[in-house]
Amino acid sequence: MLGAVIGDIVGSVYEFQNDRRKNFGPLFHPKAFFTDDSICTLAVADALVNERHAGEALKDWGLRYWEVGGWGGMFSRWLQSPGLEPYNSYGNGAAMRVSPAGLLARSVDEVSVLSKQVTEVTHNHPEGLKGAEATALAIFLARHRVTPQNIKVAITERFGYDLERTPDDIRPTYRFNETCQETVPQALVCVLTATDFEDAIRNAISIGGDSDTVAAIAGGVAEALFGIPDEIADRGWTYLHKDMRETMTLLYRKAGMLL
């Protein structure tokens, strides 16, 4: 989960001003910040750790950090609406916020259950549910020491995503896109061809597009696959407020992981 938040922070300054170089400078730009992607990820963690309705947690965190901005149009209207009905979204927000489900799941079946539980409250379109579950499953498999090649095979067989490309294949023609189907496969390629956590994040930024979300999806999987170097983890932690740190600490404790 911290990996997803770090991906979001690193990508925050490149979302609307892509830099398609892997050596784009220091990992954390001086103007980097957490965005709505991190807020939603923390809301999902809160829902799972404290057994809250995911929609209620998303509204709580979203309105608490409303001034962060960057909310998608449909999601922002949903946040401000009185009800909790989903709106059939297939946006990539489903996948960028789902990492807590991948960390807490104890089986492949539970990946499906938890992913659906925290996704369908807004993103109940089949592509939204698919993108979230694919991301959560990749995290679960990586946590259980499945190799990148075998993760690629499992995700391709289950969800039909094309993961045979490389970041170099994607980079020349990839453009900003906020759908799961045009974000999740690309983010997974960036991780499954990487050599370590930082390399995965740099791959994700370098292909362009919706950089903070692509990097958040990649970062959640990369954390499970490679771990996060202490220096990067410590730096990411400094961006978070007290309530965020407390929620994240509870999630890792429940997952039986050290933070």
Instruction: For residue 35, say whether it is annotated as part of any ligand binding site.
Output: yes
pLDDT tens digits for 161-193? 999 999 999 999 999 999 999 999 999 999 999
Residue 38 has pLDDT above 90, yes or no: yes
The tens digit of pLDDT for each residue in 236-256 reads: 999 999 999 999 999 999 999
* 210 labelled ligand-binding: yes
pLDDT of 69: 86
Report whether 36 belongs to an annotated binding site: yes
Residue 161 sits in a domain of what CATH number?
Answer: 1.10.4080.10
Q: Is 247 annotated as a binding residue?
A: no
Which tens digits make up the pLDDT trace of 122-157?
999 999 999 999 999 999 999 999 999 999 999 999
103-133 per-residue burial string, b: 16 or more CB within 10 A, e: under 16:
bbbeeeeebbebbbebbbbbbbbebbbbbbb
Average pLDDT over the chain, rounded to whole?
Answer: 97
Tally of domains in the chain? 1
Give residue 259's pLDDT band: very low, low, confident or very high (50, 70, 90).
confident
Give the domain range for residue 115. Answer: 2-255
pTM for the predicted model, two decimal places:
0.98
